[in-house]
């Protein structure tokens, strides 16, 4: 879809129950991000949740805790088809993430038989099919955005709007001209190098983010949706 220029939509999941992806997989989401950076999800939960999503066409993505070869290896071995790597600030850090996710030289991914149980061709196709998605969320990363997006093996790049705005000294001020300029630089650089720009958390109206050119758009998180839905239902009931 991204190669065809389509816009994709997903959500972030942090509630550690297979029931969540089991239900979400029937809704038509293009991808689900299982977040290990800012949630209580552990390896057992992620493995079960990826399996629960396996009955659908929704792509399982894991945001790893850090740019660590062991964590990236484990996420992929559990069945993730893409990894989001937080706090990537330059080319060397982007290259490290790619190496950890790829088998063939200069890749450093270790082979584990578990991942091939249901796909005998996995070892020959994984390097082409697995997506590596650095997350740009600091002023430094924005300065080095061209180096990051032109790193061989990077397929998409996520903008982390909350941390980026914090790094710029304008936390959550998504209407601030400085933040909007940062977004324009981010998207235009991605487009110039045929890398899909993503937005990992809501930052303004979805329509505007689509029109700006984001191609991977998170509609929100499971906890946020739960809070909003229950809050709205309760307010309606109280009235």
Neighbours of 193 (CB within 10 A): 15
E strands, 30-166, in order: 31-35, 59-63, 82-85, 131-136, 156-159
Q: Are 20 and 49 in contact (CB under 8 A)?
A: yes
Distance between CA atoms of 64 and 83, rounded to whole angstroms? 7
Distance between CA atoms of 75 and 70, rounded to whole angstroms? 9
The catalytic position among 22, 38, 181, 193 is 38
Task: Find the angle CA(137)-CA(142)-CA(147) to the nearest 5 degrees.
Answer: 115
181 is annotated as an active-site residue: no
Catalytic center residues? 38
């Amino acid at each position: 879809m991204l190669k065809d220029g389509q816009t994709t939509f997903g959500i972030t999941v942090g509630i550690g129950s297979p029931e969540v992806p089991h239900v979400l997989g029937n809704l038509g989401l293009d991808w689900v991000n299982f977040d290990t950076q800012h949630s209580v999800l552990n390896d057992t939960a992620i493995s079960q949740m990826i399996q629960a999503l396996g009955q659908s066409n929704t792509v399982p993505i894991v945001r790893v805790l850090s740019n660590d070869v062991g964590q990236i290896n484990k996420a992929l071995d559990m069945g993730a088809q893409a990894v989001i790597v937080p706090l990537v600030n330059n080319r060397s850090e982007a290259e490290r993430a790619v190496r950890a996710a790829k088998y063939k030289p200069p890749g450093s991914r270790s082979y584990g038989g578990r991942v091939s149980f249901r796909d005998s061709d996995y070892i020959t196709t994984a390097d082409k099919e697995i997506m590596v998605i650095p997350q740009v969320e600091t002023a430094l990363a924005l300065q080095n955005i061209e180096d990051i997006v032109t790193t061989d093996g990077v397929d998409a790049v996520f903008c982390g709007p909350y941390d980026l705005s914090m790094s710029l000294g304008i936390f959550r001020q998504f209407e601030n001209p400085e933040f909007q300029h940062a977004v324009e630089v981010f998207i235009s650089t991605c487009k110039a190098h045929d890398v899909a720009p993503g937005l990992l958390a809501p930052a303004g109206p979805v329509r505007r983010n689509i029109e700006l050119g984001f191609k991977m758009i998170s509609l929100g998180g499971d906890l946020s949706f739960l809070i909003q839905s229950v809050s709205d239902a309760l307010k309606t009931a109280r009235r």
